[in-house]
Structure 1
Amino acid sequence: MQISDLAERAKTASRVLSTATRDRKDAALRAMADALLAAGDDVLAANASDVEAARAAGTGEALVDRLTLTPDRLAEMAQGLRDLALLPDPVGETIHGWNLPNGVHVDQVRVPFGVIGMIYEARPNVTADAAGICLKSGNASLLRGSSSCLRTNRVVVEALRQGLESSGLPADCINLVEGGHEVTDELMRARGLVDLLIPRGGAGLIRAVVEGATVPVIETGTGNCHLFVDASADRAMAMSIMLNAKTQRPSVCNALETLLVHRAIAAEFLPAALDALTAAGVTVHGDEASRAIDDRIVPATEHEYEAEYLSLDLACAVVDDIDAALTHIRRYSTGHSETIVTADAANQRRFTAEVDAAVVLVNASSRFTDGGQFGFGAEIGISTQKLHARGPMGLTEMTTTKYLLSGDGQTRA
């Protein structure tokens, strides 16, 4: 099916969805969760085929992990839909209301965008998350997953559509986009049919969409996340945060990629950190100063400070002070999540004020940069841009606004 035809069907469905009550949308979300679990065996079988094909093609383990579904991950996808049903409906919310001097009343209210396109890699959980968030916020969705996840996405989307139909909403509120690169290009140029496009994946995918789309884009970003261990840091706290941020799930965008250690404590902290990291299977790549302290650290190239590992690898550098840490972060940060561990109130204030990122954390793991952890329900992505939405994007970020004016015959002089 042509993108124009699919988008037209989605736009028609979005008109029904835009005026659906909260009760109706919440019932649909619960029905989608039930249908997803009912199709669980088929979903997992399709996913096993996708995973097998990915491994046969030599796909890296980080991407394979993102692609893989387990019964627990499938249950989390369904629970994410149910959690969305518990959240307030943003559509129709009055953000501001005021009276003009002439007596005209003005309300700024939240409304859906209409049709939202998603272009994303692997991660079949994104399929359910995006479909659910778009539905709750009154938007129809066009879901363009990667070919590596096509079998899984077909089964997931079919189950979600069945749930929609059983609740009385149009199945075309959720649509799977299939085809080659030309289809992706067509989706990116479907201005007037698609109201908003969100890319989610690696740096190459995001850059291609941002540079090639004529449809408005919310840019999600890669996560070259830093942790600065200040001289005043509680060492045990820093160690715990470092290990959690690096090893709890290394293949995701909020995982730690670079450790910066204040020179005043580096000789004490780094050997203990290497003991813990090595025991967890992490390879540390460092600068000359860090390698002089611990010879288990392998040399880091300039490139290693610039990009995500998404694996059990960690870049490391010794910095003279907070100014050096801030300089390093400004140079290499992707604007995702940046962390300081400190007991120094002045350094905390400087770090939070001067670091330019969607999320800045003090004495807490960057793994908290997540819509679910923020209480948003499932997230549709983490925006690293500065327009409209920044950070984890939940329901309110999937709405725009319009102004409603009401009077009793006023005219402009």
Structure 2
Amino acid sequence: MSVVEQARRARGAAEALAVATRTTKDAALVAMADALVARTPEIVTANAADLAAGRAAGLSAAILDRLALDAARVAGIADALREMAALPDPVGEVVRGSTLPNGLELRQVRVPFGVVGIIYEARPNVTVDAAGICLKSGNAALLRGSGSAAHSNAALVAVLRDAIASAGLPADAVQLLDASSRDSVKELMRARGLVDVLIPRGGASLIRTVVEESTVPVIETGVGNCHVYVDAAADLAKAVAITLNAKTQRLSTCNTAESLLVHASVADAFLPAVLAAFAEAGVTVHGSPEVAAYSSAVVPATDEDFATEYLSADISVTVVDSLDAAVAHIRRYGTGHTEAIVTDSQSAAREFVARVDAAAVMVNASTRFTDGGEFGFGAEIGISTQKLHARGPMGLPELTSTKYVVTGDGHLRG
């Protein structure tokens, strides 16, 4: 089936979803969760085929780990759907409303986008997360995963479609696009008028391609060259702990710190401690000459290092002379995701927050907190690094648009 035909079917499903009650949608989410658990053996068997192909293709251990599914992981994915069912339904929420001087009643209400296309890499759990958050927010989902997870995604979507139909909603609310060639991506990106929005989730290359080549509106997500700036007024013990957590709590996420900036006035006291902590944690430091002076283990940093989202046990480190220099460095190399300052100076914190251009700015906290779950939003489709429509963690409300409903009683404009 062509992408255009799938998109047409998705539009039909979206019409049904737009008027579905919360009770019906939540019942579908619970049915999806129950079906995943009940059919875990066939999902794990399909995943084993992807893992075998991945090993034969020489995929890294980290990618294979993100690809792998077992009974415990499937149960966790199912639990996430149940948690989603318990969240408030954004559709129909009144954003604002008033009675105009002429007596007209004006309401701005949340409505689904309609058809959401999601292009993503590797992780099969995204297949279920994306399907769930789209359904809960009243949207039909067109999912285009990577070829490395083709068997897993096919099995998961088959389970989800059966469960959705059993709950009385159209199975075409969730569809999987062919991942065997790039043609399906190109067709999806050109399906303007059938697909309302595209959300790419993956590496910088994928996101850049979708943003630059799509005629369908795109919400840009994900790339995170995140910085921690240790200010002159920082509590240095706190700074070591925050930096280490931001870098090592999980290496392969977009909110992991990739660069450390240290004020020159605290470098002598701070750098030996943080370099020792990095060494113990197995993190390779790519440092400027000022940083290399503190340890022979430091690898000389290039300009490319400061621009890199490593997603690995690597970090770039440099010394800056001022908060101004820290902000200038972040403006040059940052990706607008998450930036952090460690300081006991309220004025420094206020200035950093005001001047740094990012979706999230942390004060005395790890960059790893930029997450829908950590922010209390529940379900999240990704972290938007753009400024239009949505910015930061995209929860259920961010998967909606709005419409104005105007109610009168024979009102005529004079």
Give the shorter-chain TM-score range.
Answer: over 0.9
3-state SS, counterpart of residue 293 of structure 2: helix
C-alpha distance in 1 between matches for 2:228 and 2:317:
10
> Relative to 1, partners in 2 of residues 1:37 and 1:380: Cα closer, same or farther, differing over 3 Å?
same
Q: What is residue 109 of structure 1 aligned with on the other side?
A: 109
| Residue 70 of structure 1, CA deviation | 4.4
> Offset at 1:156?
1.2
The answer for unaligned runs of 5 or more in structure 1 is none
Q: Residue 272 of structure 1: SS of its match in structure 2?
A: helix
SS in 1 for 2:151: helix
Which position in structure 2 is the counterpart of 1:161?
A: 161
Give deviations 1:79-104, integer Å, cap 9, x for gaps: 21111111110101111111222211
Pairwise CA RMSD of aligned residues?
1.4
- Alignment length (residue pairs): 413
Which residue identity does 1:45 align to in structure 2?
A: T
Shift in Å, 1:77: 1.6
SS in 2 for 1:254: coil
Residue number in structure 2 paired with 1:243: 244
- Contact kept, 8 Å, 1:270 with 1:294, in 2: the verdict is no
Give deviations 1:43-79, integer Å, cap 9, x for gaps.
2332233233223323344433432334443333212
- Check conservation: 1:43, 1:156, Cα contact below 8 A: yes
Task: State the secondary structure of the residue aligned to 1:315.
Answer: strand
Aligned-partner Cα distance in 1 for 2:155–2:267: 51
Q: Which residue of 1 aligns with 2:259?
A: 258
Cross-structure match for 1:66: 66
Kindly provide the CA deviation profile for residues 195-251 of structure 1, in whole angstroms up to 9, marking residues without a partner as x. Answer: 111111111111111111111111113010101111222222222222221112101
Q: Distance in 2 between matches of 1:4 and 1:10?
A: 10
Per the alignment, residue 4 of structure 2 pairs with 4
Is the alpha carbon distance of 1:308 and 1:171 closer, same or farther for their aligned partners in structure 2, counting shifts above 3 Å? same
Question: What secondary structure does 2:311 align onto?
Answer: coil
Q: Which residue does the alignment assign to 1:232? A: 233
Give the match's secondary structure for 2:268.
helix
Q: Which residue of 2 aligns with 1:98?
A: 98
1:52 aligned partner? 52
Deviation digits for residues 141-168 of structure 1 (CA, Å, limit 9, x no counterpart)? 0000011111111111111112212211
Give distance in 2, aligned partners of 1:406 and 1:333.
47
Which secondary structure state, in structure 2, belongs to the residue aligned with residue 402 of structure 1?
A: strand
* TM-score relative to the length of structure 2: 0.97
Q: What code does the residue aligned with 1:227 have?
A: V
Matches of 1:265 and 1:386 in 2, distance apart?
Answer: 35
Runs (4 or more) in structure 1 with deviation over 4 Å come to: none
Equivalent-residue separation in structure 2 for 1:71 and 1:340 (angstroms): 40
Note closer, same or farther for the CA distance 1:61–1:256 as it changes in structure 2 (3 Å cut). Answer: farther
Give, in whole Å, the separation in 1 of the partners of 2:129 and 2:18. Answer: 19
Partner of 1:130: 130
1 CA distance for matches of 2:371 and 2:347? 27
Partner of 1:205 in structure 2?
206
Q: What CA distance in whole angstroms lies between the structure 2 residues aligned with 1:103 and 1:379?
A: 39
> Which residue of structure 2 aligns with residue 22 of structure 1?
22
- Structure 1 window deviating more from structure 2 (99-108 vs 84-93): it is 99-108
Q: Percent identity?
A: 60
Maintained 8 Å contact 1:84/1:377: yes
